[in-house]
Amino acid sequence: MATADLNQLGQQAQQASYTLGLLSTTKKNDVLLAMARALTDQQDAILAANARDLENPQVLAKFIDRLKLTADRITAMATGLKQVAALPDPIGNVDRAWRNEAGLTIAKERVPLGVIGMIFEARPNVTVDASALCFKTGNAVILRGGKEALHSNQALVKVLRSALKAENVDENAIQLIQDTSHETAGKFMQLTDYVDVLIPRGSARLIQTVLTKATVPVIETGAGNCHVYVDKDAQLKMATDIIINGKVQRPSVCNATEKVLIHKDVAAAYLPTIVKALRDNGVEVRGDAATRAIVSDVIPATEADWGTEYNDLIIAIKVVDSEAAAIAHINHYNTQHSEAIVTDNYQAGKVFQQRINAACVYINASTRFTDGFEFGFGAEIGISTQKLHARGPMGLAELTSYKYVIDGNGQVRQ
Amino acid sequence: MATADLNQLGQQAQQASYTLGLLSTTKKNDVLLAMARALTDQQDAILAANARDLENPQVLAKFIDRLKLTADRITAMATGLKQVAALPDPIGNVDRAWRNEAGLTIAKERVPLGVIGMIFEARPNVTVDASALCFKTGNAVILRGGKEALHSNQALVKVLRSALKAENVDENAIQLIQDTSHETAGKFMQLTDYVDVLIPRGSARLIQTVLTKATVPVIETGAGNCHVYVDKDAQLKMATDIIINGKVQRPSVCNATEKVLIHKDVAAAYLPTIVKALRDNGVEVRGDAATRAIVSDVIPATEADWGTEYNDLIIAIKVVDSEAAAIAHINHYNTQHSEAIVTDNYQAGKVFQQRINAACVYINASTRFTDGFEFGFGAEIGISTQKLHARGPMGLAELTSYKYVIDGNGQVRQ
């Protein structure tokens, strides 16, 4: 894609963003409901486009499920749009307002970020989800989906834009980059004149590429090497429930539990139980030397294991000498996503929460709760693993910026 | 500087950051006061080091004033430290806390960002200011100052670290990169394993270099191509006060007024007055054709003028057909810093505040108020011109992140 064309796309998005920021909440909700109806009405065209993507012999078997759309999945997308319409609108909220020494009234008011760039892989539902969240918060969005899903994304964006047009809203609120080459993606990541923030969603590799190449500010999402630390004062039955839930319920996602640390005082009593429970659930168990000294047929864990996010039915267990050792290990190897301690000791729990460097730090609960819906945000555009702007689950509020709106009566600075 | 040495610096900062986050507010304030005393006590060593920097024949005349330290300036630095000690501590504040559907208590708690990298130029006071603000917010800081100020920065950091040591706080809370080569600066900007955020302060060129080279998240600061729009319903005397204050009071800073837009209905009446007032204050006036049609000896403004931040006693004036034209011009050429309208028309003022894309949007006040002290923040580490994380003046609150601290009693996800 020529640089000029990409610039034009950016310019169009920026122009659209100026009008989106002025829409009333009611109007935005009406448009979201119109999009939901349009998805249902134009379901056949979407499924036909999706079938073309699925026919591509180069699509790997493991991506088929992510890529495939069905009538049910389209209904789920439409339901998602209706849910976003029902959420409160953060735009225009004033975080605080005050009068300064010079007598100026200063109000810190929530505004859209402007233009959001979404870079994602094979899941076409991201096209609809991200468009809905960006639109509700008055942001224009430029979508760059994976090449495997190009026809599906084209069809979905066409439907969403038809609803924008029918509602007399600038269609360029939602745009798709049709050229899925790496070269164009690279240019897109440097479109600083028009794009205010990039949100990559997908594999660790995709996110790393964006972090390395982008000059547009990035919100890093998704990597989750999450730990559960079983303290010496843990209820062991509770620990098992939390570990099994964290590992088994949905092993492919970023808030799944990947590592277990066990205090040495309970290792001998607990290891046989937890290893059996994990294996009964189909999990491959790896462990350090101390673990294998107690359950000898555990696969040896290597140094690489401690830093790996398996996203699979695999877990690694390490025996630690103290809570301090558990905290040091976690802060060294984690991705700052979600960490949990199981303990009945008040002090141990509070120290863990204070000292662990992560977006979400749990006492006696599964790491799987790190999720915009579980947090009550009603939506989620991703889970941030950086500390700037947003950390943890990102809902509508995290898609806003602010400006200072200042009223005077002729003040000049002394 | 070898990559290994830079990594060690980063590692030391990260280690220090873990302990800084746990210090009580009282302890942090005591350390800041100890730093203030140490600056005064060791004033002679600081002035001697500064003299060595000033002896360098390569220091440009225009940088001498920025670089030069005096007893008064050291006292001002010490006073600054005491002021930061007196400010409220944002760390540990809970923005909000709630119970979710599963019965988990979720608290969004303010925590330090971690390790902050400051990249700056010739002003050694930034060393002390930035160290104070970072320390108060529990952040470790790595400073990379300009080569012209190396001896001064070394002396200042030595003094600050001596106070940390005397107070039994990890000295690596404050570190200086001694190698001021561009190569080392480039590596520093990519130290993602240890540095959580980079804040560049200085020239547009410095900031552009950091934005282009960094893989660590950056907060963009400082560029200010600020406009004053004189509406047809403006009080013209007020407009003159605001424009003269904005341009003349301190022309070298980022919140200085650089451009004036005048509604065509008042151009003929107002232009002779404002041009004379500017010239009486030593300002070079440039203007578009419409301006020159009214005041013929105004220097012609070229296209390049509209996008230029002069940081000098120069201003460019343009006549516009309408408020909408003024807004479009500003949103096209501005740096999203500070913009002002002068008007007595309620509607015109509100439309301007809503539609202008900038950190601070004023009605009837000077752009010079965009400042952490004037805003009442009590301190300022810079003025952000991006929309992510922080926008406008950045005080202590903007040097924090948050984490979700979550208490359960065995919850697993359904």
CATH of residue B354's domain is 3.40.309.10
Task: Compute the average pLDDT of residues A98-118.
Answer: 98
**Cβ neighbours of A177 (radius 10 Å):** 22
Is residue B413 assigned to a domain? no
A170 and A282 co-located in one domain: no
Average pLDDT over residues A141-151: 95
Interchain CB contact of A8 with B (< 8 Å): no
Which residues of chain B are within 8 Å of residue A21 when distances are taken between CB atoms?
Answer: 354
Q: Quick one: closest CA in A to B361, which residue?
A: A405
What single string gives the DSSP state of each residue in B208-220?
HHHHHH--S-B--
How many Å lie between the alpha carbon of A234 and the closest alpha carbon of chain B? 11
B100 touches chain A (CB under 8 A): yes
| Shared domain check, A273 and A149 | no
Q: Token match 């790491």: residue?
A: A367
Whether residue A167 lies inside any domain: the answer is yes
Closest CA to B233 of B133, B111, B138, B348: B348
The reply to whether B314 falls in a domain is yes
Q: Tell me, yes or no, whether B109 and B160 share the same domain.
A: yes
Chain B CB within 8 Å of residue A241 CB: yes
Query: Which residues of chain A from 19 to 38 reach within 8 Å of chain B, CB to CB?
Result: 21-22
The DSSP secondary-structure symbol of A59 reads S
Question: Are residues A21 and A144 both part of a single domain?
Answer: yes
Res A194 pLDDT > 90: yes
* Helix or strand holding residue B34 (H, E): helix B25-41
Contact present, B164 and B31 (Cβ < 8 Å)? yes
Q: What is the structure's pLDDT at B202?
A: 83
Q: Name the residue among A274, A271, A205, A286 with its Cα closest to residue A244.
A: A274
pLDDT of residue B10: 97
B245 and B173 within one domain: no
DSSP annotation string for A311-370: -SSEEEEEEESSHHHHHHHHHHH--SSEEEEE-S-HHHHHHHHHH--SSEEEEEE-GGG-
Task: Quote the pLDDT of residue A1.
Answer: 85
DSSP per-residue codes, B35-83: HHHHHHHTHHHHHHHHHHHHH-TTS-HHHHHHH---HHHHHHHHHHHHH
Task: Show which of residues 326-365 on chain A sit within 8 Å of chain B, judged by CB atoms.
Answer: 331, 349, 353-355, 357-365
Is pLDDT above 80 for A61? Answer: no
**CA-based nearest residue in chain B for residue A255:** B413
Asked if A274 contacts A240 with a C-beta cutoff of 8 angstroms, the reply is yes
Measured between CA atoms, how close is B233 to chain A, in angstroms?
14
Cβ count near A233 (within 10 Å): 18
Instruction: Give the count of domains, chain B.
Output: 2
Q: Is A15 on the interface with B (CB under 8 A)?
A: no
Q: Are residues A194 and A140 in the same domain?
A: yes
**Residues A140 and A156 reside in one and the same domain:** yes
- State the pLDDT at residue B332: 95
Cβ count near A208 (within 10 Å): 15
Token pair belonging to B272: 């002779």
Strand partners, A112: A400
The residues of chain B scoring below 50 in pLDDT are none
Q: Which residues of chain A neighbour B366 with C-beta distances below 8 Å?
A: 411-413
User: Is there a contact between B354 and A249 if contact means CB atoms under 8 Å apart?
Assistant: no
Nearest chain A residue to B20, by CA: A355
Give residue A2's pLDDT.
87
User: How confident is the model at residue B56, as a pLDDT?
Assistant: 87
Substitution target from B212, B368, B370, B405 for chain A, most A beta carbons within 10 A: B405
Q: Which residue of A has its CA nearest to B220?
A: A217
Residues A213-247: tens digit of each pLDDT = 999 999 988 789 999 999 999 999 999 999 999 99
- Domain annotation covers residue A381: no
Looking at residue A18, its pLDDT comes to 94
Residue B286 β-bridge partners = B299, B316
Nearest CA in chain A to B240: A410
Question: CB atoms < 10 A from the CB of A87, how many?
Answer: 19
Give domain status of residue B378, yes or no.
no
Tell me which residue range forms the domain holding B25: 3-220+386-407
A347 CB-contact burial (10 Å; exposed 0-12 / middle 13-18 / buried 19+):
exposed
- Centre a 10 Å sphere on the Cβ of residue B300 and count the other Cβ atoms it contains: 12
* Gap between the terminal Cα atoms of chain A: 52
Distance from the A38 Cα atom to the nearest Cα atom in chain B, whole angstroms: 31
Q: What is the pLDDT of residue B247?
A: 98
Q: Which residue, among B212, B405, B91, has the nearest Cα to A190 in the 3D structure?
A: B212
What's the confidence (pLDDT) of residue A204?
Answer: 82
| CATH number, position B155 | 3.40.605.10
Which positions 285-314 of A are in contact with B (Cβ < 8 Å)? none
Q: Which of A53, A37, A13 is nearest to A153 (CA)?
A: A53
Enumerate the β-bridge partners of residue B320: B263
Distance between CA atoms of B52 and B355, rounded to whole angstroms? 51
CB contact under 8 A, A196 and B388: yes
Identify whether residues B170 and B286 lie together within a single domain. no
Q: Quick check: A158 pLDDT over 80?
A: yes
Q: Any CB–CB contact under 8 A between B114 and chain A?
A: yes
Q: In chain A, positions 115-174, which contact chain B (CB-CB < 8 Å)?
A: none
- Shared domain for B263 and B310, answered yes or no, is yes
Tell me the H-state helices in A115-254: 125-136, 150-166, 182-188, 204-213, 236-248
Say if CB A230 and CB A270 are below 8 A apart.
yes
Q: Which residues of chain B make contact with A100, given a CB cutoff of 8 A?
A: 369, 374-376
Residue A36 within a domain: yes
Residue B414 forms part of a structural domain: no
Cβ contacts of B114 on chain A, cutoff 8 Å? 357, 387
Select from A226, A360, A342 the least CA-distant residue to B405. A360
Instruction: Say which amino acid occupies B342.
Output: V
Q: Does B403 touch chain A if contact means CB atoms closer than 8 Å?
A: yes
What integer pLDDT is reported at residue A357 of this predicted model?
96
Judgement on whether residues A160 and A18 belong to the same structural domain of the protein:
yes
A231, A310: one domain: yes
Identify the helix (H) or strand (E) that includes residue A197.
strand A197-201
pLDDT given for residue B86 in this prediction = 97
Instruction: Give yes or no: residues A277 and A334 share one domain.
Output: yes
Residue A394 included in any domain: yes
Q: Which residues contact A44 (CB under 8 A, 6 or more apart)?
A: none
Contacts of A114 in chain B (CB under 8 A): 357, 387
- Residue among B22, B100, B196 minimizing CB distance to A354: B22
